[in-house]
Amino acid sequence: MGLIHFTKYNPNLFSWKGTLNQHSIARVQSIDKGTASNRTKVKEVGRNTNDGVVGYKKVTPSVTLGITQKEYGGIDIFKALANKDANTLTLDDFNGAACDMVSYLTDNNDTFLGTKWYANTRLTGFKINIGDPKADIERTFDLVGEKDKILEGDNKYFIWKTKTVESGDLGSGNNVEITVSNPTPTANPDSPTEYMLEVIRYRGSTATKLEVSTDYSYDNGTNTLTVTNCQVDDIIKYAYSASTQGSQTLMTLNDSDPAVISADSVSVYLYVPAAGKPGSSDYVYRLQSASLGVTFDRLDLNEVGNNEIVERSIKTKTVTIDLGRFAINNVIEEILRGKTSTYGIIDIEKIASNLKFVIKVYSDNTKSTFKYGLKATGLSATNLNHKIAVDDYHDVSNTLTGESLMITSVEADLLDS
């Protein structure tokens, strides 16, 4: 068995909801996974062996995932994480979304070793960072989950397939039979009569993880998956492990977008809302750094008698924008106040709380090809800081916060109506 080089580590997201399925994550620079087993020691009075330890309580693990990308101008990862195939997304689209993160592993002897599988992960936040005027733009995504499994041996390939139910598929009791092939499943060694890792039904706007025996069954003799109580247009997504790859794609490379997009290929705007904005007069000059971050305070619910997350939701959303610059003028403070340099006094107590912030990302510094943009609304300044030191210039930083953000590949959607 050889080492696993980064060129042989293939990361993918599989969307639970909607029509999207596998998304190979492009331009990844690092993936950081942490799993806490959360086991707790149980003791009792009167036990004079093992220092009073009876055993350990098994608690649901906590899994965190951090993904860092170079900016390449695509919103496909946002679509995958939101489970929505749309050109324009808002933060509400991430509310009930979930993904399986799957990485296929091959060693440097070209031997396929297995799969790392993190099921039912949800987005807890992301950040787009421009460190300085010459920096590459970086994106980071943070996910959380409870499942951490390694597939190896005869179960080494994670296989994902889908079936959209048509009227002719409905049998007795509205059951649907699906032939599972190319490859056929391998039994779960922890439950030798079970062959499916998970079966998900997407109906309307809801993705439900189905229960074996109650909602579906699998016949290994005929390679038939039977899903009960189906409706026309249900999308059945089912995953299983196998000893061979079959038709499963391990990685789809993105060779159409730029290798990386740098700080000179963006336009940044800050303004008080008005029809036709943002325009050239709203462009922010002399920026030295800029970042846009989103954090979600999630409420993901369990239920008595079940160790699975049964409901995924977001309680609150926070959008944070940090701008760094040298103090050549007071233009940002003037924008925050909604006044010009001729007004006379910029009173910070009177700054606006309905500002808008737009970043447009282009394919290169000619800015002739728009790739995508982000528009934050309802912003208020929360920190106005400056620093001056010997042998240095006046350094100013501004922080704006809000709760709303649009992500879009349609440039016209960034304009105020």
The tens digit of pLDDT for each residue in 188-245 reads 999 999 999 999 999 999 999 999 999 999 999 999 999 999 999 999 999 999 999 9
Sign, Cα dihedral of 159, 162, 168, 169: positive
State mean pLDDT over 139-150: 96
Residue with tokens 């990862």: 77
Each residue's pLDDT tens digit, 151-196: 999 999 999 999 999 999 999 989 999 999 999 999 999 999 999 9
> Which residues lie below 8 Å from residue 384, measured CB to CB, with a gap of 6+?
333, 336, 348, 396, 398, 399
pLDDT greater than 80 at residue 347: no
Q: Which two tokens stand for residue 243?
A: 């000893």
Quote the tokens at residue 272: 């008080």
CB 236 within 8 A of CB 199: yes
**What's the confidence (pLDDT) of residue 298?**
86
CA angle, 380 then 384 then 387, to 5°: 165
pLDDT per position as a tens digit, 380-391: 877 666 665 564
Q: Which is nearest to 218 in space by CA: 248, 193, 247, 192?
A: 193
Greatest extent of the chain over all pairs of C-alpha atoms, in Å = 83
Mean pLDDT of 99-113: 95
Structural domains in the chain plus CATH codes: 11-41+51-150+259-417 (no CATH), 157-242 (2.60.40)
Q: What distance in Å separates the CA atoms of residue 354 and residue 340, rounded to the nearest whole number?
A: 17
Scan for tokens 């080089």, then name that residue. 5
pLDDT of 327 > 70? The answer is no
Which residues make beta-bridge pairs with 179? 224
Using 50, 70 and 90 to split pLDDT, how confident is the model at 343?
low
Q: Please check the confidence at residue 111 and state whether its pLDDT lies above 50.
A: yes
Angle at CA of residue 226, ends 162 and 22, nearest 5°: 15
| SS3 of residue 219 by DSSP | strand
How many angstroms separate the Cα of 47 from the Cα of each of 41, 42, 57? 14, 11, 17
Q: Specify the pTM.
A: 0.91
* Cα 357 to Cα 380: distance, rounded to the nearest angstrom: 11
What is the distance between the alpha carbons of residues 73 and 102, in angstroms, rounded to a whole number?
23
Residue 265: phi and psi, rounded to 5, are -110, 25
The pLDDT confidence band at residue 143, using thresholds 50, 70 and 90, is very high
CA 285 vs CA 13, 197, 272, 410: distances in Å? 37, 53, 17, 24
| Token pair in block for residue 300 | 């993901």
Q: How far is CA 183 from the centre of its chain?
A: 29
pLDDT in tens, 32-91: 999 988 888 888 888 888 888 888 888 788 899 999 999 999 999 999 999 999 999 999
- Neighbouring CB atoms inside 10 A of 348's CB total 10
Using CA atoms of 64, 70, 75, 76 in order, give the dihedral in degrees to the nearest 10.
-70
Distances (CA, A) of 90 to 96, 115, 146, 307: 13, 32, 26, 30
Location of structure tokens 């999630």 = 298
Token digits of residue 236: 């059945």
